[in-house]
């Protein structure tokens, strides 16, 4: 009994303290990408997603969008699938050169994972979801999560600083690392200042821009050249360019980042969240067409 209680206590500690140490957009970033995506699904894709979602999600993809970060401890093999390390200071990306893990195993990066889980989900089209070799619920959750990660500029970052993870900075008065600024701090400050600290208000504001200010770009975001189902290489190339142009620039070890940085960078973050959501929907619509 006491031992059991202790285990419950330990799991609660794990929930509180281990899970927030995540890679990729924080909870709200992933939530936003999936919320936008689910609102743009075709009937066929919406039906498939609803079928594949775990019952705990209550039909809401956004509520389980962070799942892939939560299982990293348990599915250790999946850790390298959340990012891409590109050569220091080159500011470009090539699948063949860069999509591998630390041991050099090819395809083990977020772009390779997007191809992988897209292909797995294509087997759903043949109506054999119950006999698939893969657990397509997990394929959907991985794919949805990785569309968020690949749109976080520092998830396609330099190798030696691990995408800004080793660059210590202050976010206003708080100590953090540059990677975390882009995962979470910028989004949290946007929510505090403009959205009553409410992620759903942030989602609504981005949705409005998708249908107004950015409407003329949305078609090109959705495009995937040739007849390909998924186009992660385009997103990764944009990502490392944004990392160089906006995330790394002007930042060094020990920098203090405040309004100058926040006000010029947050529009990039919101724009990337919008692209992630629009493109996840477009891809799911192609998969389940
Ligand atoms: C592809 O998906 C399977 C099933 O989850 C996984 O075992 C494998 O590591 C994945 N590979 C890549 C490159 O994503
Ligand atoms: C598929 O994966 C989900 C999430 O990990 C799990 O809850 C479910 O039991 C799995 N389904 C099967 C048939 O293994
Ligand atoms: C919407 O777009 C405008 C103009 O580009 C920009 O100033 C604003 O920050 C954007 N808001 C959101 C929530 O994306
Ligand atoms: C997107 O693809 C469509 C159809 O292939 C094409 O007509 C359109 O010009 C493309 N748009 C952009 C911006 O590439
Ligand atoms: C795309 O597919 C259509 C029909 O399946 C085909 O006619 C067309 O040539 C393909 N285009 C490319 C660029 O592969
Ligand atoms: Zn992640």
Integer Cα distance of 51 and 45 in angstroms: 10
How many angstroms separate the CA atoms of 169 and 166, rounded?
10
Q: Ligand 3 centroid to 212 CA: how many Å?
A: 10
Q: Whose C-alpha lies nearest to ligand 4, atom 10?
A: 220
pLDDT (tens digit per residue) in 102-123:
999 999 999 999 999 999 999 9
Any ligand 4 atom below 6 A from CB of 220: yes
**C-alpha closest to that of 243 among 168, 179, 108, 153:** 153
Assign 126 a pLDDT band (cuts: 50, 70, 90). Answer: low
Instruction: Tell me the domain boundaries of the chain.
Output: 1-289
pLDDT-above-70 percentage for the chain: 89
* Distance from the alpha carbon of residue 220 to the mean position of ligand 4, in angstroms: 6
Superfamily (CATH H level) for 1-289:
P1 Nuclease (1.10.575.10)
Residue 12 is predicted with a pLDDT of 44
What pLDDT score does 127 carry?
A: 60
239 C-alpha vs ligand 2 centroid, how far in Å?
32
Indicate whether 50 pLDDT > 70: yes
What does the alpha-carbon distance between residue 273 and residue 260 come to, in Å, rounded to a whole number?
21
Task: Give the residue-averaged pLDDT of 37-61.
Answer: 97
Burial of 101 (0-12, 13-18, 19+ CB in 10 A): middle
Asked if the model's pLDDT at residue 255 lies above 60, the reply is yes
Q: Is 206 in the pocket of ligand 3 (CB under 6 A)?
A: yes
Q: Single out the residue of 197, 167, 165 nearest to residue 28, CA to CA.
A: 197
Place 125 in a pLDDT band, splitting at 50, 70 and 90.
Answer: low
Distance CA 44, CA 173 (A): 48
pLDDT at res. 71: 97
pLDDT in tens, 133-171: 899 999 999 999 999 999 999 999 999 999 999 999 999
The answer to whether 150 and 235 are in contact (CB under 8 A) is yes
Degrees (nearest 5) of the Cα angle 27, 28, 34?
95
Q: Cβ distance 117 to 142 under 8 Å?
A: yes
């Amino acid at each position: 009994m006491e031992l059991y209680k202790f285990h419950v206590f330990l799991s609660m500690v794990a929930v509180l303290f281990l899970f927030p140490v995540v890679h990729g957009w924080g909870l709200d970033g992933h939530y936003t990408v999936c919320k936008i995506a689910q609102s743009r699904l075709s009937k066929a894709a919406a039906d498939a997603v609803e079928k594949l979602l775990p019952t705990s999600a209550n039909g809401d993809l956004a509520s389980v969008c962070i799942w892939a970060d939560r299982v990293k401890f348990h599915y250790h093999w999946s850790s390298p699938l959340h990012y891409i390390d590109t050569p220091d200071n080159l500011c470009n990306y090539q699948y063949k050169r860069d999509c591998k893990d630390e041991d050099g195993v090819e395809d083990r990066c977020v772009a390779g994972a997007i191809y992988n889980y897209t292909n797995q989900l294509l087997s759903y089209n043949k109506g054999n979801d119950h006999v698939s070799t893969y657990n397509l619920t997990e394929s959907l959750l991985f794919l949805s999560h990785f569309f968020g990660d690949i749109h976080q500029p520092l998830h396609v970052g330099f190798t030696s600083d691990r995408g800004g993870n080793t660059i210590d900075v202050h976010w206003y008065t708080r100590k953090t690392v540059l990677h975390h600024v882009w995962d979470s701090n910028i989004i949290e400050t946007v929510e505090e200042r403009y959205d009553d600290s409410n992620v759903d208000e942030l989602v609504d504001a981005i949705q409005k821009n998708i249908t107004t200010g950015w409407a003329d770009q949305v078609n090109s975001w959705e495009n995937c050249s040739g007849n390909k189902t998924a186009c992660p290489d385009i997103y990764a190339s944009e990502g490392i360019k944004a990392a160089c142009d906006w995330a790394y620039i002007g930042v060094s070890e020990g920098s203090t980042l405040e309004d100058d940085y926040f006000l010029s960078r947050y529009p990039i973050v919101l724009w990337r969240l919008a692209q992630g959501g629009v493109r996840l929907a477009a891809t799911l619509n192609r998969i389940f067409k």
